[in-house]
Amino acid sequence: MLDVEMLELFTRELTLCAVKPGETVVVLTAEDEWKDHAQAFMAAAEALGASTFNLNVRRGQRNAVGVQGRHPLVGNALAMQTLKSASMVIDMVGLLFSREQAEIQAAGVRILRVMEPFHVLKQMFPTEDLARRVEHAKGLLEKATRMRITSDAGTDVTYHLGQYPVISEYGYTHESGRWDHFPSGFAFTQGNDGAVDGRVVLQPGDILCAFKQYVQSPVTLEIRQGMVVDIQGDGMDAQLIKSYIDSFHDSRAYAVSHIGWGLNEKARWYQFSVTRQLPLEHVMNALSFYGNVLFSLGPNLELGGTNDTACHLDLPLRRCSLWLDDVQILSEGDVIHPAMRVDSGGA
């Protein structure tokens, strides 16, 4: 039986995605994961006049959840042919940071990534105003040549920009070949190869997304020519980060990856503290909360780069100030640029 509230919400989501009669929507799942979501998405697609079906694959031992860019479509030519023939794919497997996702998008298929439980999808449901603000951020990033980020904790890092494209995520996709994540709310790019230098200081309350926990003690990351060259800290957090990265036995895991800022006023910085009994919760609250700086390490295939390391660390930072060239966007974690500001927002 379908949950009526879920069906209504997913119908609204697919309406934002411009699903219409004559289109084919493929819901991609693995094994017995997200059964209720899959059924509700197919019912919503049918309600909008589209054809739909569920493509279900087996993960296998090498395709565990949480390992970036590794998934069951690798080497599966028939599944890839099917997905590239669709109008839209709802991805509940996790194709991000993979060559297969890029190939599907290049075929003109729009992709919607969904990996959060229903209460998060409902809480962070996208709006056209969020899309407007995120697209404005994208436009500013596309024109910028330099980004500087500072904080009272000691962060002072500069990114030279222009080599890589800018990606916007606001929770729905309605354009050919476009990927988005439901829910979300940020824009991001990457610094030019070898052109990120400075220091990032993680402070208590910043987030270690790989572990779904908050930083407890300061950690200093020294960055030279786009690589983290030193990690220092007296507490366990520095050891945890370094041990995790080293466990992949891949020096590219120390590469600075995407950078951007959060604009979703519905996202909650404190979410991990109030949902400890909900293991299905992922990280979109952490990545999207209003005014965060989304600093990351690891792969950059999503932006057209060549680093396909399986180690990915998203480290959302609070209370930072951010400039694009001479235009200030954030001031100590508050969005001050008028075109992106939500007066009632904040976290």
Find the mean pLDDT for residues 232-254. Answer: 97
Give the per-residue pLDDT at 347.
Answer: 46
Q: Would you say residue 66 has pLDDT above 80? A: no
Q: Where are the beta strands (DSSP E) in 131-253?
A: 146-151, 156-160, 167-169, 179-182, 186-190, 196-202, 207-208, 213-214, 219-224, 227-232
Find the mean pLDDT for residues 83-93. Answer: 97
The pTM for the full model equals 0.92
Taking the C-alpha atoms of residue 344 and residue 233, their distance in angstroms, rounded to an integer, is 36
Give the per-residue pLDDT at 98.
Answer: 84
Dump pLDDT digits (tens) for 29-64. 999 999 999 999 999 999 999 999 999 999 874 544
Give the per-residue pLDDT at 218.
Answer: 98
Find the mean pLDDT for residues 151-156. Answer: 98
pLDDT confidence band for 70 (50 / 70 / 90) = low
Plot region of 307 (φ>0 → left; ψ -120 to 50 → alpha; else → beta): beta
Q: Would you say residue 24 has pLDDT above 60? A: yes
Q: Is 132 helix (H, G, I), strand (E, B) or coil?
A: helix
Give backbone dihedrals phi and psi of 45, rounded to 5 degrees, phi first: -65, -40
Q: Would you say residue 250 has pLDDT above 90? A: yes
- Provide the H-helix boundaries in 48-159: 77-84, 99-106, 118-123, 128-143
Give the per-residue pLDDT at 275.
Answer: 63
Find the mean pLDDT for residues 238-259. Answer: 97
Give the per-residue pLDDT at 271.
Answer: 86
pLDDT confidence band for 69 (50 / 70 / 90) = low
Residue ranges of the chain assigned to CATH 3.40.50.2300: 4-115
Please report, for residues 9, 54, 75, 122, the alpha-carbon distance to residue 41 in angstroms, rounded to integers and kept in the order given: 9, 10, 27, 14
Dump pLDDT digits (tens) for 272-327. 887 655 546 889 999 999 999 999 999 998 899 999 999 999 999 999 999 999 99
pLDDT confidence band for 346 (50 / 70 / 90) = very low
CA 285 to mean position of chain CA atoms: 10
Taking the C-alpha atoms of residue 69 and residue 284, their distance in angstroms, rounded to an integer, is 18
Find the mean pLDDT for residues 154-162. Answer: 98
Give the per-residue pLDDT at 77.
Answer: 93
Give the per-residue pLDDT at 282.
Answer: 87
Q: What does pLDDT average to over the chain?
A: 93
Name the residue among 206, 165, 207 with its Cα closest to residue 187: 165
* 4-115: in CATH 3.40.50.12590: no
Give the per-residue pLDDT at 65.
Answer: 45
Please report, for residues 64, 88, 180, 209, 293, the alpha-carbon distance to residue 167 in angstroms, rounded to integers and kept in the order given: 26, 19, 9, 20, 15
Judge contact between 157 and 149, C-beta under 8 A: yes
